[in-house]
Homo-oligomer: A and B are copies of this chain.
Amino acid sequence: MTQETTKFRIAEVRVTPILISDPPLLNVQGVHQPYTPRTIIEVVTEHGAHGLGETYGDADYVRVAEAFAPDLVGAGLGVNGLYAKVLASAERVQVSDLDNRVYAEGLRGSRTLPKVCHSVVSAFEVAMLDALGHELGLPVHALLGGKVRDRVEYSGYLFYRWAEHPGPGEPSDDWGAALDPAGVVAQAQRFARDYGFTSFKLKGGVFEPAQEVAAIQALHEAFPGQPLRLDPNGAWSVPTSLEVAAALEGIAEYLEDPTSGTANMAEVAKKTSLPLATNMCVTSFDEIPPAFASNAVQVVLSDHHFWGGLRATQDLAAVCRTYGVALSMHSNTHLGISLAAMTHVGATIPDLRYACDTHRPWQTEDVITEPHTFTEGALTVSDGPGLGIELDRDSLAALHRRWLDSDVRGRDDAAAMRRVHPDWVTPQLPRW
């Protein structure tokens, strides 16, 4: 595409699929598996500077990442135009069952080859920015135009959950079950005590809406005046969404994906003053114009894994700003590399109005030497070189070994649910 004249050349690229343990968190599709796959990217420059990136680890993401990795050797650290290169690599190796059609629907919205490529780009882009930061002795935020805040706020991500996975020897923790409003409040209280979170999001779509509304109301009583959100992942019909909205006006700061699809979201939005947020019906740039034209969403939950990286997240912020739509940040199960990336880009966006989501407190494993600790519900953005993190090679090797020893190559929350409820099928939406 262009002569590579940059002074920093990539000498080595490593793609390492891993499996990380995950608690039995419930959602509309089922329950989190004991182990979920992630892909870890390392780039190393000729000068020996390292960069780290992280993305989804389902088999198709790994295949595309592995197809692209050799093409990056010898290239510079410029990140513009990466998408076209990743797409070309994916097409060259004939990732034949992936194409432009939607081939999966799920919690990440519809899955297509372009979307998988954007997610793969995100990991390489972050790794390249991290490496460039190490080359220059500059933090990633400085490579993104500079931070406008020193700390990035996160919200406590509450889940209905079981006490433990059903299988023997599967990962466990001491959180216990949370299956009713009291359990949710107890979880929030521990989150507030341990990490100082002052806003909370509850993953819904698990129980009947009345129970989930009661949980939010109980949170509101326990944490009066503090921002609360509920996200049933599109589980509700339009009328149900409106009932919930009516019950939570003045209590919730927004409802996240109450119903599925832009048209339904627009219908709900028309009849409630509660803002609607999404990470399901607006997950790529081409989904923006119809959603904004119909005023279907008032808050877009960015996710650099969806949108193609940190610069793409800034692009998304610009589009949202232009159209008067708020921006916050979505999270999927992730490790410290992505949390560092989220914090750096979050620090650069002037109009980040809501606390960002993160699954991080639920992950007990990591691949970095000093996992982040939330204080007062926020992380201080690192001013050290790159992302400000260091790879824990032993941990990476152990989690990769787990991947090699396992046949888990994707995430299937419905299958995990069937281990306990053999009749479970992924619910048709709307469920309620």
| In-complex Cβ contact of A142 among B1, B78, B141, B289 (8 A) | B78
A322 touches B285 (CB 8 A): yes
List residues of chain B with CB within 8 A of the CB of A348: 80
List residues of chain B with CB within 8 A of the CB of A84: 350
Instruction: Give the contacts of A293-311 with B (CB-CB under 8 A).
Output: 293, 311
Q: Could you tell me which A residues sit within 8 Å of B by CB distance? A: 1-3, 5-7, 76-81, 84, 136-138, 141-150, 285-286, 288-289, 293, 311, 314-316, 318-319, 321-324, 348-350, 383
A147 touches B78 (CB 8 A): yes
List residues of chain B with CB within 8 A of the CB of A142: 6, 77-78
Q: How many copies does the complex hold?
A: 2
Residue in B closest to A5 when the chains form the complex, CB atoms: B383
A289 touches B350 (CB 8 A): no
CB distance from A72 to the nearest CB of B (A): 13
CB distance from A287 to the nearest CB of B (A): 10
B146 touches A76 (CB 8 A): yes
CB distance from A295 to the nearest CB of B (A): 12
CB distance from A178 to the nearest CB of B (A): 37
Q: Given A318-B318, A322-B289, A322-B319, verify A77-B1 contact (CB < 8 Å).
A: no
A5 vs B319: C-alpha distance when bound (angstroms):
29
Q: Could you show 25 A-B contacts with beta carbons less than 8 Å apart?
A: A1-B148, A5-B383, A6-B383, A7-B137, A77-B142, A77-B146, A78-B148, A79-B146, A80-B145, A80-B146, A81-B146, A81-B148, A81-B350, A84-B350, A145-B311, A285-B318, A285-B321, A285-B322, A286-B322, A315-B315, A315-B318, A315-B322, A316-B318, A318-B319, A319-B322
